Amino acid sequence: MSTQAQIRRTTVPQIAKRKGGEPIVSLTSYHAHTAAIVDKFADFILVGDSLGMVMHGMESTVGVPLDLMIMHGKAVVRGTQKALIVVDMPFGTYEESPQVAFRNAAKIMKETGCGAVKLEGGARMAETIHFLVERGIPVMAHTGLTPQSSHVMGGFKTQGRDESSWDAHREDARAVAEAGAFAVVLEGMVEPLAAKITTEIDIPTIGIGASKDCDGQILVLEDMLGLNPWTPKFVKVYGQLGPMIEDSVRRYAEDVKNRAFPTEEEIYR
Ligand code: KIV
């Protein structure tokens, strides 16, 4: 039996069945070794296009190329055994037509070995989601604050502050669920709206800066580890890796300057 055949990952139907059940645990990951740690606890791991900002210092996710998503997707699949791996479709690779979306989603799935793709947009993407799902590509949708549209939205703004916009957000969530998405990320949305949508649709909602009542939660790993120079207010920070790395690098630099390394004799005795 090959090594791959022994890997038993969480499946798309298993995630879909968690609607209203035990909360779904998920985090982003872009890197094989950190993904291996996350894999011990997460139901699914998202190779998010936030990697453009977090790993590559871009100002937004708009410039992220498909090949970069595939490269990080491969690393995360290689590093994991258990979680469903979802890879983001970057800006410009799916909006033009369902056919273009299929071509790029199939490329992502074939080249990375991931189990699903995620794309941003509500009602306007319903036809594309339906097209992909009918052809064997599981789709996680993403509505509310959709970072790839930040230029149109005027920045990274919490959605639903004005109650008159709620119906449009509810319609977006309903449309992607009806189109066949197996789950939907609700990002940057006022709490009562995210909670309401969660009760209204029959697929799991995955909140990020939305509501504790969503069917699951996701955070950007580096945000919750305290590794990013700036962290959104809604993020509960569980580690202080930034200061830890700085302290370690400072001590290393001092050791180099002081020639304070173990001798060959100390290492091999
Ligand atoms: O790209 C990403 O990391 C995401 C999450 C914030 C949901 O889409």
Domain definitions of the chain by residue range: 12-239
pLDDT tens profile 145-196: 999 998 888 888 999 999 999 999 999 999 999 999 999 999 999 999 999 9
What is the CA(50)–ligand 1 centre distance, in A? Answer: 6
What kind of architecture, by CATH, is found in domain 12-239?
Alpha-Beta Barrel (3.20)
Identify the residue whose C-alpha is closest to ligand 1 atom 8.
48
Q: Can you give the pLDDT at residue 153?
A: 87
What angle is formed at CA 215 by the lines to CA 22 and CA 49, rounded to 5 degrees? Answer: 120
- For 114, the token pair is 């991931």
Report CA torsion sign: 72, 78, 79, 80: positive
How many whole angstroms separate alpha carbon 138 and alpha carbon 155?
A: 29
Burial per residue of 178-201, b for 16 or more beta-carbon CB atoms within 10 angstroms, e otherwise: ebbbbbbbbbbbbbebbbbbbeeb
- Residue 52, ligand 1, Cβ within 6 A: no
Out of 22, 134, 178, 187, pick the active-site residue. Answer: 187
Instruction: Establish whether 187 is a catalytic residue.
Output: yes
pLDDT tens profile 78-91: 999 999 999 999 99
With the most atoms of ligand 1 within 8 angstroms of its CB, the residue from 26, 44, 49 to mutate is: 49
How many whole angstroms separate alpha carbon 35 and alpha carbon 43?
A: 12
What is the CA(253)–ligand 1 centre distance, in A? Answer: 35
pLDDT tens profile 214-242: 999 999 999 999 999 889 999 999 999 99
pLDDT tens profile 21-30: 999 999 999 9
Identify the residue whose C-alpha is closest to ligand 1 atom 2.
48
What is the CA(267)–ligand 1 centre distance, in A? Answer: 44
pTM over 0.85: yes
Residue 150 bridge partners (DSSP): none
